[in-house]
Structure 1
Amino acid sequence: MKFVSWNVNGLRAVMKKGFMGFFDKVNADVFCLQEIKLQEGQLDLDLPGYHTYWNYAEKKGYSGTAIFSRQPALSVRYGLGIARHDREGRLITLGFEDYFVVTAYTPNSQHGLLRLAYRLQWEDDLLIYLKGLDAEKPVILCGDLNVAHQEIDLRNPKANKKNSGFTPEEREKMSHFLDSGFVDTFRYFHPDKAGAYSWWSYRSDCRNRNIGWRIDYFIASQRLVPKLSGAKIHTDVWGSDHCPVELEVMI
């Protein structure tokens, strides 16, 4: 099966920039979105052959997630079940016979790290939630996790050590998460690949110069490793400040 994840930074905007062309070409079994930035009824999207699941933020034009799946989910959960986290439409969980798929849009700790404490609490609560799922059946987590885990995961690590997305606290949370029975699937297949990024600032022509960060992930339960068959980053796909990432699993 093919899974694709993309922070589209506004689904209505990216629809005008070739979204459907990529969607049709990639032919994913499960296609996950983050930062859809819309409310119910604001987009008429016809996807024959797919079941669609939406989690809208209460605040208009902000955050939000979606999943499009060829197979209907056996169960659907929106959010973590924790009120302080569930107003921004950041999480959808689909349950299938043999696994869960979770799409997540992790809160940014913001300029000046004003939201770092909240972000770290989100990390703790998300891990508890995912470990609970993993106790039932394997988990595939994808999305914009808003952290470059290692120095190889961004172009300028030394200059960013105190900046949102690369603080020691955020990186440690990711390390703890992976040590809890999960694997970063891209690094599983490409442990030493440098220059592989999924987000670029709109400033200073960063994308053309490949001054970027890898902050979009597919993370899987450790016991799924024997079934993983490939992971890639679609750096050639534009339309957002992020590009899509992909995972193939024999499941």
Structure 2
Amino acid sequence: MKIVSWNVNGIRAAVKKGFMDYFNSVDADFFCIQESKCQAGQIDLEMPGYYQYWNYAQKKGYSGTAIFTKHEPLAVKYGVGDQDTEEEGRIITLEYHDFFLVTVYTPNTKRDLSRLEYRLQWEDELKAYLKQLDSEKPVIYCGDLNVAHEEIDLKNPRSNIGNAGFTDEERGRMTRLLKAGFIDTFRHINPDVAERYSWWSYMSKVRERNIGWRIDYIIVSQALSDKIVAVDIHDHVLGSDHCPVYLELAQ
């Protein structure tokens, strides 16, 4: 079972930059995107054999998530906890017989950290939600989580301490989630592998010099740890300031 997660930074722009070529070549069972930046009716993707589930932000050209899957779910949810809506379109949950699939575009704290309090509240609510799901059946949780967890997960950790995406608070929330029974699949398989990143600034030559951050994740319940077949970061794939992350699980 192949799972891909990719912040496309605008699906309409990504399609013009080869998105469908990658989509067709990777042949994923579940293909999750974040930051779709579109509204209903603004794009029509031809994906024979796939069900499409979109969560649009109320604000035009902002945020948004989608899941393209070969497998029809038992249920679809677009919120956290008891809610089935989320105004920024940041989450989709698909329920299957043996697991839940959750894709998320985590709120950015912003450069001035003005959204840190909101972000931490989001993290607390999401952790409770994931734990509730995990009590029923295993969870696959993926997306742009907007945090580099450890120093190994970004090129210049010392100069970024306290910056958005590398604050103690954001990193601590990730630590707490993992300690609650979840696994960062890439780091689980590659505990000491450095300089593998999923996001690079658009500043000149940054991606060419691999000055990046690993902020895109596929995280699973510990119950799925023995089913991990392969993990990867497809950093050769262009078309966004992020690249796709990949997980294969035994069925």
| TM norm. shorter chain > 0.5 | yes
SS in 1 for 2:229: strand
SS in 1 for 2:224: helix
Q: Give, in whole Å, the separation in 1 of the partners of 2:81 and 2:46.
A: 30
Q: Give, in whole Å, the separation in 2 of the partners of 1:8 and 1:81.
A: 27
Instruction: Compute the displacement of 1:120 (Å).
Output: 0.4
SS in 2 for 1:31: strand
Instruction: Indicate yes or no: 2:100 matched with 1:100.
Output: yes
Instruction: Compute the displacement of 1:80 (Å).
Output: 1.1
* Correspondence for 2:161: 161
Instruction: Compute the displacement of 1:82 (Å).
Output: 6.8
Q: TM-score, normalised by structure 1?
A: 0.98
1:60-71 alignment to 2 at 5 Å? 60-71=60-71
1:152-231 alignment to 2 at 5 Å? 152-231=152-231
Instruction: Compute the displacement of 1:204 (Å).
Output: 2.8
Instruction: Indicate yes or no: 2:143 matched with 1:143.
Output: yes
SS in 2 for 1:76: strand
SS in 1 for 2:204: helix
Measured at CA, do residues 126 and 42 of structure 1 come closer, stay the same or move farther in structure 2, by a change above 3 Å? Answer: same
Q: Deviations over 1:185-229 (max 9, x none)?
A: 000111100000000000131100100000000000001001111
* Correspondence for 1:122: 122
* Correspondence for 1:8: 8
Q: Give, in whole Å, the separation in 1 of the partners of 2:71 and 2:64.
A: 22
Q: Which amino acid aligns with 1:75?
A: A
Instruction: Compute the displacement of 1:44 (Å).
Output: 1.1
Instruction: Compute the displacement of 1:81 (Å).
Output: 4.7
Q: Which amino acid aligns with 1:13?
A: A
Q: Deviations over 1:115-165 (max 9, x none)?
A: 000000000000000001001100000000000000000000000001000
After TM superposition, the runs of 4+ consecutive aligned structure 1 residues lying more than 3 A away are none
* Correspondence for 1:236: 236
1:52-91 alignment to 2 at 5 Å? 52-81=52-81, 86-91=86-91
* Count of paired positions: 250
Root mean square deviation of aligned Cα: 1.0
SS in 1 for 2:41: coil
Q: Give, in whole Å, the separation in 1 of the partners of 2:8 and 2:213.
A: 16
SS in 1 for 2:112: helix
* Correspondence for 1:26: 26
SS in 2 for 1:205: coil
Q: Deviations over 1:8-62 (max 9, x none)?
A: 0000000000000000000000000000000000001111000000000000000
* Correspondence for 2:111: 111
In the alignment, structure 2 segments of 5+ residues that lack a partner are: none
Q: Give, in whole Å, the separation in 2 of the partners of 1:198 and 1:181.
A: 24
**Does the CA contact (< 8 Å) of 2:150 and 2:171 recur in 1?**
yes
Q: TM-score, normalised by structure 2?
A: 0.98
Instruction: Work out the percentage of aligned pairs sharing the same amino acid.
Output: 62
Q: Which amino acid aligns with 2:191?
A: P
